[in-house]
Structure 1
Amino acid sequence: MNTSSPESRPLRSRLKSTGEATAILPTETTSPITVIGTEAIRDTFDEGCLQQAINSRRAPGVTEVVLNPDAHLGYGAPVGCVMVSPTHVYPGPVGVDIKCSMSLLQLDLPADAIEDRKTRRALISAICQRTPTGAGRGQRSAAKSRPVNRTVGKQLVTEGASVAVCDQLGIPSEWAECCEDSFHLGHDETRDALAMRLDRLLEQRHMSNFSDKMTQLGSYGGGNHFGECEVVDVAKDDRAQRAAQTFGLQDGNVAFLSHCGSRGFGHNLASGQFKTLQDKFSQWGIPLPAQDRQLVYAPLGTPEANDYLDDMALGANFATVNHLMINALVLEAFQEVIPGTQGSLVYFISHNIARKEIVNNQPAWVHRKGATRAFPGGHHSLRGTRYAETGHPILLPGNPRDGSAVMVADEGAAQACFSVNHGAGRILGRRHAKRVLDQATIDTELDQHDVLSNCRQYPMDEAPAAYKDFEEVLRSVKMAGLASEVARLKARFVIKDSSKADD
C-alpha cells in the first residue's frame, strides 16, 4: 500500500488531465495551476520547473499561474509561464532580458529571389555588417551600423518608438503602429517619471557604462537570440487568409524573423533591481517565497515597486527601438544586395514583460515570462486597431529545421490569461546539449534542409534537438483552443552568435 503523502509524490504525478491538451497542477494551499500541453508535452516538464510553478503560485499576491507547453526551468519562475497579481510586481517572472521579443518583417521578394546560395551568402554578409551578434558586441564591431550617442540613448529609453526617435534612427515611424506596445510609461503613466528615474540611475555605479550599452542598439545578443530569413506559407482556410491580409503577410514571399531583447542595458536594470530588492528583504527580515532569492517582490504603490516599474519601462523602450532598428538595418541589407526591395513590419510582440491588464474584471499585472500575449478578435484592448476583428499576430519561433509559425488567438485563450507559449522551449540544458549532441549531425541536417548560417559550426546548444518537438507544441496550443495557425515560416538562412551563449 502506498502511504506517501501528496506532498512527497513526484510533482509530475500530481498533474490532473482536464482535456487532451489541458491539465491542472494542485498546490495544496491555493487554487490549481493551469497547465497547457498534451500528455507528451507534460512529460517534458521536470521537477524543478513544476516546483518553480508551485512556488510562484504560492507567492504573496499571486492569483493565477499558467504553465505553457514550452515551460522549463527559469529564473525564479519557469520560462514559459504566466503569473498574475493585482497587488505585487515580481522581477523574476519578467527576467533579466526585459522585453525579450519577436518581430517579423515582410519583404516584397518572391521565394525564388533568394534561391541562389550566393545571394543568401551575400545577404548574410550584408546583415552581419549592420547587426552585430554576441553578448558584449555593439555597433563598433559592425562596419555599416548606425551609431547611437548618449543623448539619443537617453531619449529612446524614455520615449520608446516615438516619431522623433524613429526619425533620428532612420526607422519608418509607421512601424510603431504594428507594435504590441511602441512605448512604455513610468509607474504614474508619465514619461517624466522615466526621465527622473534615469537621472537617478545614471548616478549609480552599475549604470556607469550607459553610453557603452547604448552602442548595442540594433544588435542581436547571444544564446537563443537570432535573425532568420523565411519564406511565408499562408494556410489555405478562409480565416487564415483574412488574417494574413490584415497582418500584411504575403504568401510565397520572403520575410525576416528576429528574436532579441534589451541587451546589456536591460540586464543592468534587472540585475540592479534583484540586488536592491534582495537587500531590502534582508534588511526587513521578510521571508522569501519558497526561500528563493529570485522570487523577490514589491507591493504596488511602494517606492520599490515604482522603481521596478520605471526600470522595466526603460528596458522595454530600449528593446522596442532595438527591434525596430534591427528591422530597418535588415531591410537596408536586402536593398544593398537586391536593389528595389521594399519591406513592412508585420508585428512586434514581447514575451518577457509585465503588463497591466484586466483579469477577472479587475486590473492586475500580468507577468509573462517566456509567454506571449494572445488577444483574439473582439477583445476590448484591440478596439480601434487594425486587429480588432481578427486578433493580433502571434509570432512563435520553432527551429530552423522545422520552421516557425504565425498564429492568432481563439476565444479559448482566456483560460490561459490570454497568453500562449513563446516558442518550442528547451528540452536539453546548454551543457547537456553540448555533451550529447553531435556537431557533424547538426550541420549536416541543416545543410540537407538547405538552411545557411553565418556560423562555421551551428551552436550545439541551439540545435533543433535541444528544443521540444515543435509540432507537438503547436498541437497543444491548437487542441487546447488557445490559437489557430495563420502561416508557417520556412527558414532559408539564420544569423546566430556562435560564441559563448548568454541565455
Structure 2
Amino acid sequence: MIPTGEATAMLPTKTTPPIKVFGTPAIRETFDDLCLQQAVNSRLAPGVTDLVLNPDAHCGYGAPVGCVMVSPTHIYPGPVGVDIKCSMSLLQLDLPAEAITDRKVRRELISQICRRTPTGAGKGQRHAEKSRHVNRTLGRQLVVEGASEDVCRALGIPTSWTYRCEDAFHLGHDETGSALETRLERLLTRRDMSNFNDKMKQLGSYGGGNHFGECEVVHVAENERARKVAGAFGLEDGKVAFLSHCGSRGFGHNLASGQFRQLQGKFEQWGIPFPAGDRQLVYAPLGSDEANDYLDDMALGANFATVNHLLINALVLEAFQEVFPGTKGNLVYFISHNIARKEIMDDRPVWVHRKGATRAIPGGHHALAGTPFAKTGHPILLPGNPRDGSVVMVANEGAEASCYSVNHGAGRVLGRRHAKRVLDQSAVDSEFDDEDILSNCRRYPIDEAPAAYKNFNEVLRSVESAGLASEVARLKARFVIKDASKADD
C-alpha cells in the first residue's frame, strides 16, 4: 500500500487503477495478506470499475468484509454475502439515563426483551412467549412487499417508521413486485425451501454470531453541527436508546447459499474460470437470467431483513413499556451494510456492492431528495463494542471519494477460534462488571469480546481524518442482548 494522506492510501494492481484504501497507518497494519489479496482479486474481476477498502476490512467471502465494489455491468453475490441485508437500526426512547441506573431495572428489561425477541442460530417465535406469530400467508406477503402498510399493521409496527429506512422495501429485477411473486412461487417448489414456514417463524429474532441488541445512553457531541444534526435525526442527549444488529436470518442464508450453488454449477457447466480461481467470486452479467434470479432472491431476503428489524424495534419498545408504562419511542434510522444497490455515480447507473460497508451520503445529494435527511445527510449507524461504545455519524462531502461509503463497525482483528485460544474469559467478564454493563449471557461470548475487534477509536479517527464522515453522537452501552451458545456469523 502506498500512503496518500494521513488516513488514505492506494493499493496498486497490475492492470487497473489502484484500490482506494481508508485507514491510518495503525489501521492499515491490521489488513493481512489474505484481505489484501481478496481486494486485488475483486478489483480485477470482470466488470468491476471501483473497489474501496474501509478501515474495518478483513478477509471475507470472496471479497473482503469492509469493502465497496462497483460494477455497471455485473452482479456479484460474494460482496453481499450469505446474510443478505445484515443491518443496523436505532430506536430513540424518551427515558432519561437515570431511569436505567438500577441493575434490577436493567435485569427486568433484559428479561422482557428476551421474552419477545429470541436469540440463537436456530431460535424462533416459539422460543419467546411474547413474540409475534407469523404464518405462511403473512410470511409470503412480507418477503414480497417488505415493510408495506399492510405488513406493518399486521405485525404492530408503526407505519411512520418506514420513512426512516434506507430502503423500506425492495422490488424485483424489473423494478416490480410481481417479479418477486413469480420468483417466490418457483423457489417454494425447491427442496431447499421446504423449510419456508420455519424460517418465517424466525422473524423478530437476532440470531447468533455478532448480532446483538444493545441498550444505550446517547451522548451528543459538543459542537454546533453535531447538535443541529442530532436534532434532525431525532437523537436526544442523555436519553436511552436501543441499537440492533441483525439480518435476514435462515431465510436469507437459504437464498444466498442456493445462489452460490446455482452460479458455481453454471460456471463449471460452461467452463468459465472463476476470478483468481476463487469460487466465491462467481458473478452474473446484468440482464441475464442468472442475474435476474439473483437480484430477485436478494430482494426477497432484503425484505425479510427489513421487516425483521422493524419488528424487533416494535417488540423492544413494547418491552420497555412493560417496565415503564407510557414510554414512547421513535426509529432514528435503519441502514444496511450487506447489500447491492442500484445507484447513480458519475452520471450513470451502477450496482454498488457494500460488503460490511455502510452507505454515507451527505446532505444535498440527489439520492436523499424527498427524505427527512435531504438537508443534513442520513444517519450512519456504526457499532463499536460495549466497552468503547458505538457512534452515529453523518457523511461529509469527502465521502464521494469512497463511493459514498464508510465502514460498518470496528472489524475483526482476531478470528473466532483464535480469540477463544488467546483471550481470558474471566478478564472479559470482569471488564463488563467494571463498566457496569449487563448481559443476558451467563458468560459473555469470548469470540465477541472487545479485544477480538480493532481499536474502534482508531477506526473512527480514520474515517474523520479521511474527511468521509463526522461523529454526531456516541452511544454508551448499559446492557447487551447476545447469543451465548454457538456463534453462527
In the aligned structure 1, how far is the partner of 2:164 from the partner of 2:228? Answer: 17
Deviations 1:391-411 (A, max 9, x none): 000000000000000000001
Residue 361 (structure 1) shift: 1.8
Q: Which position in structure 2 is the counterpart of 1:224?
A: 210
Deviations 1:45-98 (A, max 9, x none): 000000000000000000000000000010000000000000000000000000
Q: Which position in structure 2 is the counterpart of 1:33?
A: 19
Q: Which position in structure 1 is the counterpart of 2:60?
A: 74
Q: Which position in structure 2 is the counterpart of 1:389?
A: 375
- 1:398 aligned to 384, 389, 413, which one? 384
- 1:258 aligned to 244, 264, 272, which one? 244
Q: Which position in structure 2 is the counterpart of 1:59?
A: 45
- 2:142 corresponds to 1:142: no
Residue identity opposite 1:426 in structure 2: R
Alignment of 1:277-292 (within 5 A): 277-292=263-278
In the aligned structure 1, how far is the partner of 2:302 from the partner of 2:276? Answer: 28
- 2:382 corresponds to 1:410: no
Q: Which position in structure 1 is the counterpart of 2:71?
A: 85
Which SS does the other structure have where 1:474 is aligned?
helix
In the aligned structure 1, how far is the partner of 2:10 from the partner of 2:349? Answer: 24
In the aligned structure 2, how far is the partner of 1:298 from the partner of 1:20? Answer: 38
Q: Which position in structure 1 is the counterpart of 2:291?
A: 305
Residue 490 (structure 1) shift: 0.2
Residue identity opposite 1:474 in structure 2: L
- 1:169 aligned to 127, 130, 155, which one? 155
- 2:460 corresponds to 1:478: no
Q: Which position in structure 2 is the counterpart of 1:16?
A: 2
- 1:464 aligned to 450, 453, 470, which one? 450
Residue identity opposite 2:436 in structure 1: D
In the aligned structure 2, how far is the partner of 1:365 from the partner of 1:445? Answer: 43
- 1:246 aligned to 219, 228, 232, which one? 232
Alignment of 1:180-195 (within 5 A): 180-195=166-181
In the aligned structure 2, how far is the partner of 1:388 from the partner of 1:115? Answer: 37
Residue identity opposite 1:484 in structure 2: S
Q: Which position in structure 1 is the counterpart of 2:423?
A: 437
- 2:350 aligned to 364, 367, 385, which one? 364
Residue identity opposite 1:384 in structure 2: G
In the aligned structure 2, how far is the partner of 1:298 from the partner of 1:395? Answer: 31
Is the deviation greater in 257-266 or in 379-388?
379-388
- 1:119 aligned to 78, 86, 105, which one? 105
Residue 133 (structure 1) shift: 0.3
Which SS does the other structure have where 2:4 is aligned?
strand
Q: Which position in structure 1 is the counterpart of 2:312?
A: 326
Residue 242 (structure 1) shift: 1.0
In the aligned structure 1, how far is the partner of 2:444 from the partner of 2:85? Answer: 26
Residue 358 (structure 1) shift: 1.0
CA contact (8 A) 2:180 2:300 kept: yes
Residue 236 (structure 1) shift: 1.6
- Unpaired runs of 5+ in structure 2? none
Which SS does the other structure have where 2:292 is aligned?
helix
Residue 450 (structure 1) shift: 0.5
Which SS does the other structure have where 1:268 is aligned?
helix
Residue 415 (structure 1) shift: 0.5
Residue 385 (structure 1) shift: 1.4
Which SS does the other structure have where 1:19 is aligned?
coil
In the aligned structure 1, how far is the partner of 2:192 from the partner of 2:345? Answer: 36
Residue identity opposite 1:57 in structure 2: R
Residue identity opposite 1:251 in structure 2: D
Which SS does the other structure have where 2:54 is aligned?
strand
Deviations 1:98-127 (A, max 9, x none): 000000000000000000000000000000
In the aligned structure 2, how far is the partner of 1:185 from the partner of 1:385? Answer: 19
In the aligned structure 2, how far is the partner of 1:156 from the partner of 1:247? Answer: 27
Which SS does the other structure have where 1:486 is aligned?
strand
In the aligned structure 1, how far is the partner of 2:34 from the partner of 2:253? Answer: 24
Residue identity opposite 1:24 in structure 2: M
In the aligned structure 2, how far is the partner of 1:181 from the partner of 1:411? Answer: 22
Residue 338 (structure 1) shift: 1.1
- 2:108 corresponds to 1:129: no
Residue 29 (structure 1) shift: 1.1
CA contact (8 A) 2:216 2:242 kept: yes
In the aligned structure 2, how far is the partner of 1:201 from the partner of 1:385? Answer: 34
Alignment of 1:420-431 (within 5 A): 420-431=406-417
* % identity of equivalent residues: 78
Residue identity opposite 2:354 in structure 1: R
CA contact (8 A) 2:164 2:372 kept: no
In the aligned structure 2, how far is the partner of 1:202 from the partner of 1:310? Answer: 14
Which SS does the other structure have where 1:404 is aligned?
strand
- 2:259 aligned to 273, 278, 284, which one? 273
Residue 25 (structure 1) shift: 0.1
Deviations 1:327-351 (A, max 9, x none): 0000000000111111000000000
Residue identity opposite 1:201 in structure 2: L
- 2:85 aligned to 96, 99, 114, which one? 99
Q: Which position in structure 2 is the counterpart of 1:376?
A: 362
In the aligned structure 1, how far is the partner of 2:46 from the partner of 2:325? Answer: 56
Q: Which position in structure 2 is the counterpart of 1:419?
A: 405
